[in-house]
């Protein structure tokens, strides 16, 4: 990983972005029975859950479903090398394409995804990583079934996060963009948009290249998907918004891109699809947050000590000239009162936009910020946390951190906590500080 990207990921800012098949029949049966699920992009739901790793507002809620194309087996035998043996066999099966059928490749890809989510396997895949990447690209470009192509896209994204490399963007981004534009499959477009976001973030894209990808994603949104043959597909549009936002977290100075982008984001608040509205709203909150920066010694600062972020921040620019109109729109969305919405969508819309509105009005107060007082008469502040193996809490007090967390969970799904233990990408991306509990 380049020193520039290592430095940037650690601070939440960047100046540059260049920066095994088991032999037992029981195991085989379990592998063959893995169910796959559709890859449609979903709005982050705030459904109640008791699972470890759930996001919590101290009454417990989660990010909800993430795109899972293979069920995660997070309990692979820790005392043996069976998983490593299976992974080795699966890697060979994926690479030896001429000797396999579509069904066989689907099975191997599913197992590969399962293992890489359950285990941090950088050392195991490294010797044949280049061959793996080529095989994945062939599968999503030439796969005989949509399922094979989707699994290959998912496998690529997980491989990128497992072992980021500064040459990956140049190697993979052109094929990603071409297939997103030309392929007929809407679920594959969706999956590859997320893979494109990952390879841009972790694959050595320069600052200029990153902004070009953001413009590509913006064009998808502004055309309602028509630019890539996905007209009015909410999942594709939401995916483009989500990856645009994650890439925006890298920007050190966001003033120019805020000036160019706020209007198209505000326009998406009028979408009939809640997942598109939420993705746009979270990006707006992010850009408002990024309008603040640490003050120089001679600058007059605002007191943000109650937000938990210190006192030395100053707003450098106004993100949107029609601020009052935006506030009015956000208040309407936060009411969740649209008659045509389902009960679930009303709840999602209300929960998301209460947060977004609060942050646009108070940009240094991030998601799930509470003004209520605790028993010691102190403002409760940020209430969004991730519980880590019952031993600690990660506090998600900033929008940039939420964007990056959601991006990693979309890729790693139920394996997020497994990578927490060993994968440095998690720490570098989130600037983690864990509170003991």
Q: Model confidence over 219-229: pLDDT tens digits? A: 999 999 999 99
Looking at residue 319, its pLDDT comes to 96
User: What is the Cβ-side half-sphere exposure of residue 19, based on CA atoms within 13 angstroms?
Assistant: 23
CB 41 within 8 A of CB 67: yes
| Cβ density class 359-394: b for 16+ within 10 Å, e for less | bbeebbbbbbbbeeeeeeeebebbbbbbbbeeebbb
- Token code pair at residue 60: 């417990």
Looking at residue 78, its pLDDT comes to 52
Question: What residues does each domain of the chain span?
Answer: 62-163
Looking at residue 57, its pLDDT comes to 46
Looking at residue 64, its pLDDT comes to 33
Distance CA 5, CA 202 (A): 8
Looking only at the bridges linking them, the beta strands covering 55-56 and 385-388 are: antiparallel
Looking at residue 155, its pLDDT comes to 97
Distance CA 335, CA 89 (A): 53
CB 287 within 8 A of CB 248: yes
- Token code pair at residue 251: 């920007």
The pair phi, psi for residue 382, each rounded to 5°, is -65, 130
| pLDDT < 70 regions, the chain | 1-80, 297-311, 337, 339, 373-374, 376-377, 379-381, 388-392, 431-437
Looking at residue 391, its pLDDT comes to 59
CB 144 within 8 A of CB 122: no
- Mean pLDDT score of the chain: 80
Tell me the C-alpha to C-alpha distance, in Å, between residue 429 and each of 49, 327, 408. Answer: 25, 31, 9
Q: Model confidence over 151-173: pLDDT tens digits? A: 999 999 999 999 999 999 999 99
Please give the full DSSP string across 30-66, using - where no structure is assigned. Answer: HHHT---------PPP------TT-EESSS-------
Judged by DSSP in three states, 375 sits in coil
Looking at residue 427, its pLDDT comes to 78
CB 375 within 8 A of CB 383: no
Distance CA 378, CA 83 (A): 49
């Amino acid at each position: 990983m380049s020193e520039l990207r290592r430095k940037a990921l650690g601070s939440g800012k960047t100046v540059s972005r260049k920066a095994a098949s088991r032999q037992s029949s029981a195991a085989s049966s379990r592998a063959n029975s893995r169910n796959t699920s559709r890859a449609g992009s979903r709005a982050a739901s705030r459904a109640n859950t008791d699972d470890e790793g759930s996001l919590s507002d101290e009454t417990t809620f989660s990010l909800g479903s993430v795109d899972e194309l293979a069920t995660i087996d997070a309990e692979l035998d820790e005392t043996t090398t069976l998983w490593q043996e299976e992974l080795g066999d699966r890697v060979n099966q994926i690479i030896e394409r001429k000797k396999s059928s579509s069904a066989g490749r689907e099975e191997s890809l599913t197992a590969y995804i399962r293992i890489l989510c359950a285990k941090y396997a950088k050392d195991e895949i490294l010797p044949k990583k280049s061959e793996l990447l080529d095989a994945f690209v062939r599968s999503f470009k030439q796969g005989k079934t949509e399922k094979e192509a989707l699994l290959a896209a998912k496998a690529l994204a997980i491989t990128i996060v497992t072992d980021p490399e500064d040459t990956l963007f140049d190697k993979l981004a052109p094929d990603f963009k071409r297939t997103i534009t030309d392929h007929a499959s809407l679920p594959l477009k969706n999956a590859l948009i997320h893979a494109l976001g990952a390879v841009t973030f972790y694959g050595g894209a320069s600052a200029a290249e990153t902004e070009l990808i953001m413009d590509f994603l913006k064009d998808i949104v502004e055309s309602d998907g028509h630019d890539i043959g996905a007209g009015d597909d909410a999942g594709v549009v939401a995916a483009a918004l989500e990856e645009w936002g994650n890439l925006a977290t890298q920007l050190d100075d966001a003033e120019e891109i805020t000036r160019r982008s706020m209007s198209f984001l505000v326009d998406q608040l009028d979408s009939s699809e809640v997942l598109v509205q939420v993705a746009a709203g979270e990006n707006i909150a992010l850009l408002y947050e990024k309008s603040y920066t640490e003050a120089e010694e001679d600058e007059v600062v605002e007191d943000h000590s109650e937000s938990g972020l210190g006192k030395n921040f100053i707003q450098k620019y106004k993100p949107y000239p029609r601020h009052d109109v935006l506030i009015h729109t956000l208040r309407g969305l936060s009411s969740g009162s649209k008659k045509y919405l389902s009960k679930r969508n009303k709840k999602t819309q209300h929960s998301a936009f209460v947060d977004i509105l609060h942050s646009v009005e108070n940009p240094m107060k991030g998601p799930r910020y509470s003004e209520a007082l605790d028993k010691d008469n102190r403002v409760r502040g940020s209430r969004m946390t991730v519980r880590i193996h019952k031993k600690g809490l990660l506090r998600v007090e900033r929008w940039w951190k939420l964007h990056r967390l959601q991006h990693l969970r979309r890729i790693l799904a139920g394996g997020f906590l497994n990578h927490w233990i060993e994968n440095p990408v998690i720490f570098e991306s989130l600037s983690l500080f864990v509170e003991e509990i």
